[in-house]
Amino acid sequence: MLQAPFFVYFIEIGETKKVHMKNYLTLLLILLIGGFIHETNAQETKKWAIALHGGAGYYPKDSPSERTQAYMESLEEALAVGTEILENGGSALDAVEATIQYLENNELYNAGRGAVFTAEGKNELDAAFMHGNTLNAGAITGVTTVKNPISLARKVMEESNHVFFATDGAETFADQTDVERVDPLYFRVEEKYERWKRRNAGQGYNHDDTSSENSWKMGTVGCVAVDSDGNIVAGTSTGGMTNKQFGRVGDVPIIGSGTYANDLVAVSATGWGERIMLNVSAHALAMHMKFTESTLEESMSYLVDDLLNPKEAGFIAVDKYGNISMRTNTGSMFRAAADSEGMKEIGIWED
C-alpha cells in the first residue's frame, strides 16, 4: 500500500498527478482482479474426508476369493464406522480412534486381536495418535494387555504430560486409565500362530520372500481424517514385524516416521518399519508439501517413488482441504476412503 507522504507528493505536483494517479488506480485494479482470480482458483475445502489402511505388502491376486471378500467387506465396514461419525458432525479424533478400534478387533489384520508373533511367540502391540492442529501426540510400544492400543495412545496424548510410553511403563500408565484390558492370550489367533511356527523354523524373517506361506509380509492398520471443524488427525496401530527380536520398536509409534500430522496434512504408514524410520517418512511427506508448496499427490509421489525403494511401504494421507492420497510401492495395500462429496474407494491392488 502507498504510504501517506508518497500519496501527498502526488497531490502536490499538480497536473502530473493525474497521470500518476491513473496509473496507480490501474495497478490497484489489476491487483484486485488478480486477488479475486486467486481466491476463485483456491482449493475448495470439503466438509470432511477419511482414509484407512489395513497393511501393505504382497497379497497375490489369485488368493482365495473368500479371503479377499472378507478383506473387502471388513474395509467397507471400517470405513462406515468413521464415515458415520464425520457425517453426523463428529470429530476426526473420534472417527480415527473408532475406525482403528474396529480394525484392531478384526483378526484379519496385524493389530490388536490379529497381531503377529515375536521371535519369542508373543504378541506385543504399538500405536500412535496425533492431532495435527495442536501438534500434540501420544504413542505406546510393547503393550500386551491393552485390547485397543490406539485408545491408550490417544489417552497418552490427552491425559499425560508425555508423548511416548514403552512396555511396562505403558502398562502402568494404562492402569491409571479406563482402557479395556485383556489376558495376553486374547491376541493369539491360532491360525496365525501355526503360520508363525511354520515360517519361523529358525529362519528369521525374510522381506524378499513372496511365497504363499509369507504372502502377507507387512501389516499395520491406520486411519487419517479431517472433520468439518478443520481438525486433522492421524492414527496407526500394529503388532509389529513377524519374528521381531527382543525390544524391537518399529516405525508406528515413532512420531514422524509411521505417524504424523500437522495443520496441513495427516499421514499413516505401513510396510517395512526400518525403512520407514530411516526416511522419517510421514514427516518427510508433510515437509515436502510445506516447503515445496506441492500438492498432496505430488508429495506422495516424491515419498513413494523417489525417497523409498520399491517393495518397502505404503501410505495414506489427507490434507486440510479434504484431498486424499493412498499409495504403495509394494504391489498391494488394503485401503478405503470417502469424503463429503460422495467419493468412496475400497481396494487392495495398485493396478
Mind telling me the catalytic residues? 220
- Sequential DSSP letters for 174-234: HHTS---B--GGGG--HHHHHHHHHHHTT----TT--SGGGS-----EEEEEE-TT--EEE
CA dihedral 331, 336, 340, 343 (to 10 degrees): 60
Q: State the residue for C-alpha cell 453426523.
A: 88
- End-to-end alpha-carbon separation of the chain, Å? 53
CA-angle at 80, arms to 79 and 83, nearest 5°: 85
Q: Minimal CA–CA distance to 129: which of 154, 165, 155, 110?
A: 154
Q: Give dist(CA 283, CA 128) in Å, integer.
A: 14
CA-CA distance, 300 to 290, in Å (whole number)?
Answer: 13
What's the rounded Cα separation, in Å, for the pair 155 and 149? 10
CA distance 259 to 206: 25
